[in-house]
Amino acid sequence: MRVRGIANVLSRAQVCAFSMGALGYDDGIDHRRIGGLGEGFARALAAEGTTLILTARRVERLESLASELRAAHGVTVHVFAADLADPDGPTTLIAAIAAAALPVDVLINNAGFGARGDFAELGDTLQLGMIDLNCRALVALTHAVLPQMIARGSGGILNIASVAAFQPGPWMAVYYASKAFVLSFSEALHEEVKAKGVRVAALCPGPTRTEFADIAGLGDTALFERLASDPGAAVRDGLAALAANRAVKVSGALNFAMAEGIRFTPRSLARRIAGALQKARD
């Protein structure tokens, strides 16, 4: 079998593997849920006849989605339990996929979460877990599949960054910094492997109407309602960017204008504006 990918997706020709996990932290909040861009990527690829691999720490909801996609599109959908925030999670997932004889052609790193609040007041378990999932797991999965892609002379990696990657973000300091890491890492990797037949792209969506917004404490604000876009557009932009081997794709005209404008804005002003926007959500 071959896999194409999305959302922490491991994929090769016709197989797409998703990491769409949920993990509860000791603050009692479930900070990662299945839905949004990951589910959108899965539905888009299933409609193209792609075999899918769906991954999460708890798989009950994934099984429901898998059953729906099998019935609607006649595709094969595999479900694996894995917690990518755990240090051994990526290795466990890769081993399980290899044991199932599913080579990976495309990896889409979508799993992640954000949290809003004063850095000094948010729990360290929460914020370090954000770094583990948004950054460490992404690097681990990428490092696991890339040598095979280079050896074959083909493959693709789509990393989900954010417009947050282009400036510092007071009151979401760790989240903005984690997405800046994803963007920088993706651009560097794009340059390293572009002559080896492997495509690497970073998708930078803006505020999007997904469960991520609710998890991060953004979804019920007037500012979010004015700026948020439909996740379907971001999914289409991400797949198109990967197909074209475009290093960076900012989804949405307004988001692109804001990201470009940051280049000409003094950093002191950029961080004040970003901080004011977060404060306005209170």
Q: Say which of 18, 171, 175, 185 is annotated catalytic.
A: 175
25 noted as active-site residue: no
Residue with tokens 């280079």: 150
Q: Which residues contact 281 (CB under 8 A, 6 or more apart)?
A: 116, 217, 218, 221, 223, 224
Strand partners, 199: 156
Q: Is the separation of the CB atoms in 143 and 178 below 8 Å? A: no
Helix (H) or strand (E) holding 191, with range, is helix 173-193
Q: Is the separation of the CB atoms in 14 and 1 below 8 Å? A: yes
What is the distance between the alpha carbons of residues 90 and 137, in angstroms, rounded to a whole number? 6
Q: Which residues contact 79 (CB under 8 A, 6 or more apart)?
A: 53, 54, 55, 59, 62, 63, 66
Q: In what order do the strands lie in the sheet with 51-56?
A: 77-81, 51-56, 15-19, 9-12, 106-109, 155-160, 198-204, 248-250
Q: Is the separation of the CB atoms in 56 and 82 below 8 Å? A: yes
Question: Crossing angle of helices 60-73/37-47, nearest 10°?
Answer: 30
What is the distance between the alpha carbons of residues 157 and 74, in angstroms, rounded to a whole number? 25
Catalytic (active-site) positions: 175
